[in-house]
Amino acid sequence: QVQLVESGGGLVQAGGSLRLSCAASGSIFRINAMGWYRQAPGKQRELVASITNDGRTVYADSVKGRFTISRDNAKNTVYLELNSLKLEDTGVYYCNAGITRARGGGYYTKDYWGQGTQVTVSS
């Protein structure tokens, strides 16, 4: 089994900061890209940021310059630093990872999701 466990969400005032963490555990051969998505009430889930296993990053235009994604491959963990938070950053933040596992003499890759962590930005 593979699990992604997020932490670090909470309530913060506009302009404040938070740091989210997501740790992967279980029977893992390799973790490929990792990312953070968010879903605001009544809206579709959207990509916030992603990072490859060699450190290349992609950000949504709405968070560029405010959020920073990073990862610690030794700890199977991805982080998201959220700075200069705005009301519209409110939502449930989900961790995602493409994970390769061994099976039957071969390997297969599958997307895994965390349970989500709530980020609420107040005025």
Write down the pLDDT at residue 116. Answer: 97
**pLDDT tens string 32-58:** 999 999 999 899 999 999 999 999 999
Write down the pLDDT at residue 79. Answer: 98
C-alpha span between 113 and 9 (Å, rounded): 16
DSSP per position, 46-62: EEEEEE-TT--EEE-GG
**pLDDT tens string 2-21:** 999 999 999 999 999 999 99
- Contact between 80 and 68 (Cβ < 8 Å): yes
**pLDDT tens string 70-123:** 999 999 999 999 999 999 999 999 999 999 999 888 999 999 999 999 999 999
